[in-house]
Chain A
Amino acid sequence: MAREIPYIAAINEAIHLEMARDDTVLYFGQNLATTENDEFVKAFGHDRVRVTPISETAEIGMAVGAALAGLRPVVELYMAEFMLVAMDQVVNEAPRFRYMSGGKVKVPLVLKAGYGFTAGWAGQHTGSIYGMFMGVPGLKVALPATAADAKGLMATAIRDDNPVCFFHHYLLTLEPGEVPEGEYLVPFGQADIRRAGGDVTIVATGWMVGKALAAAEALASEGIDAEVIDPRTLEPLDIATILTSVEKTGRLVLVDQATRHASASAVIAAEVAEHGFSALKAPIAQVTGLDATVPYSEPMEAYVLPDEAKIAGAVHQVLGSAPVTA
């Protein structure tokens, strides 16, 4: 049975279900369990639900050590940018330990981090920084765009035997969506074709999926039939589904809230250019955030971000068609 619940409730439901299912799952982070009334504390107690000081290095490092000893910690980091103060643990310890040990140990943990809060949160709380973690061997990266995927990807992340960065979008927090009840897993590395179409392939991530779908609906009224694909995880990345779509449509528009250089968009573009070049009828178009820190001023914030009009414009560009104006 599915029912509508907000994106954030879907994430919490997954953590709750996994903690009930497996008593090695811990949940800790800043500002967790601030009252005895906290639903996680009531259900699982202070031993498994812990508030930490503002010490990201210690929090994440401790999670690595607990994981090495057989536990499955979920670390609440709030803002994705807060991971940056603990890059040694995120990049050099968590994902490398298994490999450097020759496979003798494993580090199952989830780093839960919100990103992209482009609602006036200015330069240090609005970044879409998931791309930098795609480049770290040993880390997995999940990027849910819907409430159902948020639940299913979180459950899969907790059960995975590797460190997983789970990036949830702050502007989707209260967005409702149909979510299955009970155990629900979304496999990593399987893109979701959110809208089937034959004229152009649009690959969008996170918050941009909704904008790409809205643009696709607007284009449909012009007779343009867009296929919209959400990769859902960036590592592993389901390039096969994207290539299959591009073979059908011959045209590709990539939509990514992140800055373009060294982004998920740039990686997908390179893969398609290398492996799907013969299918392309037009150069790949990328609709990304501008290569700038997100500015505070509201019109400037909108200026640097992708939107429906920019996506539609890119689709017209790859189709070589002019937009229909009223």
Chain B
Amino acid sequence: MAQLDSGVAPALLRTMWRIRRFEERVAQLKRTMQVHGLVHLSIGGEGVAAAVCHQLRDDDAMYSGHRAHGHAIAKGAPLGPLMAELMGRVDGLCHGLGGSMHVVDVEHGLFGATGVVGGNIPLALGTALAARMRGSDQATVVFFGDGAVQAGHFSESVNLAALWELPVILVCENNGFAEFTPRSAHTSIELVSDVVSVYGFRRQTVDGSDVPALWAAFAEILDTAREGRGPMLLECLTHRRRGHYEGDAEAYRDQLAEEEWRRRDPVARLQADAIAAGWLDEAAVAAMAEEAADEVEVAVAFARASPFPEPELMEELVYAKAGSEE
């Protein structure tokens, strides 16, 4: 079984700090409306993004949903263009036309993020089919929350992925909330991995804040996908430390659970593991958090310096013209 080691663990921790500092800054910028649109944060879920995306290559395809910043950062998206996208600037990943929920970073394999819960799942099937038809060992990963599992997209896709044995990896971040209501109000099935059991999926459910466990589970799943076999489901029991979106009053939040999750913070846990193993010391860990904050400030400066897009660009991109691709 693949184990975290002194080489990998610091890299994962660095990514997790970059995601956390980036999103904390986004929350501030949202409060002052410098990020003007709808924003969903993944604070508390950084471990999943890091453990999955660090094992993927740039040519592996990935889809995300409305809570996409962490996935994009972990897959390699540069912070400056990502922040510029959230601020609606022309130097954003999508020239400011997509925004927080629709980040695309083709260079690093992020083909798209959907704002409609579950809408991205069938797309991953098509991309996995294309990879198999090419005879490539490229993997296709799609991230979604447990709220998507009750949508028709999911059921149809699970059936077809199993029927065609597509090498697609479904990564479900089961945070126990579908938007503003608990999972128990949506379904009688507690674990998502049980939902797919009858289809013959290779499936695992892991603690989504236990980064070494995530790393090992995803490594095994990825090996299977590389062999062209599938489908697979990795269910990560995680937690959303923030509201559904920035500005959510969170009237539904259970304060006791919140305390428990503070102790289970994936960043704090991995840090403690790394220090205990002697891979990092306290000073190195503190430096990592600070470097991430500095990097985020550079990204904010980059975004602020970028102009807003012009109407010509906005109009030109509605339809693809032959030979007009970037």
Contact = CB atoms under 8 A, between A and B. Distances in A.
A162 interface: yes
A68 B61 CA distance: 10
A73 B126 contact: yes
Contacts of B326: 103-104
B120, B128, B152, B320 pick with most chain A CB within 10 angstroms: B320
Given A93-B114, A98-B320, A57 B94 contact: no
Q: Which 4 A-B pairs have the closest CB atoms?
A: A61-B122, A65-B126, A102-B95, A66-B126
Contact of B119 (A53, A71, A88): A88
B121 interface: yes
A53 B199 CA distance: 15
A106 interface: yes
A98 B124 contact: no
Contact of A102 (B98, B111, B119, B126): B98
Contacts of B128: 65
Interface string B157-194: 10110011000000000000000000000000000000
Contact of B130 (A50, A71, A98, A162): A71
B260 interface: no
Interface residues of B, number: 50
B97 A92 contact: no
B39 to A, nearest CB: 16
A144 interface: no
Contacts of B133: 47-48, 71
B112 A101 contact: yes
Nearest to B314: A99
A69 B160 contact: no
Given A100-B98, A106-B325, A55 B156 contact: yes
Given A102-B94, A102-B98, A106-B320, 19 more contacts: A57-B122, A65-B127, A66-B127, A67-B126, A68-B126, A69-B61, A88-B116, A89-B122, A93-B116, A93-B119, A93-B120, A96-B102, A98-B317, A100-B112, A101-B106, A104-B104, A108-B320, A138-B319, A162-B319
B109 to A, nearest CB: 11
B175 to A, nearest CB: 22
Contacts of A162: 319-320
Interface of A: 47-48, 50, 52-53, 55, 57-71, 73, 88-89, 92-93, 96-106, 108, 137-138, 140, 161-162
Interface string B122-162: 11111111110100000010000000000011001101100
Interface in B271-326: 316-322, 324-326
Contacts of B97: 99-102
Contact of A137 (B104, B318, B320): B318
A92 B120 CA distance: 11
Nearest to A97: B112
Contacts of B121: 61
A65 B104 contact: no
B92 interface: yes
Nearest to A73: B126
A43 B309 CA distance: 48
A119 B57 CA distance: 54
Contacts of B208: none
B124 A55 contact: no
A50 B126 CA distance: 12
B93 interface: yes
B96 interface: yes
B95 to A, nearest CB: 3
A58 B131 contact: no
B95, B126, B316, B326 pick with most chain A CB within 10 angstroms: B126
A58 B130 CA distance: 15
A285 B106 CA distance: 50
A96, A103, A162 pick with most chain B CB within 10 angstroms: A103
Contacts of A105: 104, 106, 111-112
24 contacts: A50-B164, A52-B160, A53-B159, A53-B160, A59-B122, A61-B123, A61-B125, A62-B123, A62-B129, A62-B157, A65-B63, A68-B111, A68-B123, A69-B131, A97-B104, A100-B98, A101-B97, A102-B93, A102-B96, A102-B97, A103-B325, A140-B319, A161-B321, A161-B325
Contacts of B96: 102
B104 A53 contact: no
A326 B131 CA distance: 69
Interface in B186-235: none
Interface string B106-118: 1000011010100
Contacts of B321: 161
A161 B326 CA distance: 13
B320 A100 contact: no
A272 B63 CA distance: 43
A162 B116 CA distance: 21
Contacts of B123: 61-62, 64-65, 68, 93
Nearest to B138: A69
Nearest to A48: B133
A47, A59, A73, A100 pick with most chain B CB within 10 angstroms: A100
Contact of B126 (A48, A64, A88): A64
A105 B317 CA distance: 11
Contacts of A102: 92-98, 104, 317
Contact of A65 (B95, B106, B124, B156): B124
B127 A69 contact: yes
A250 to B, nearest CB: 33
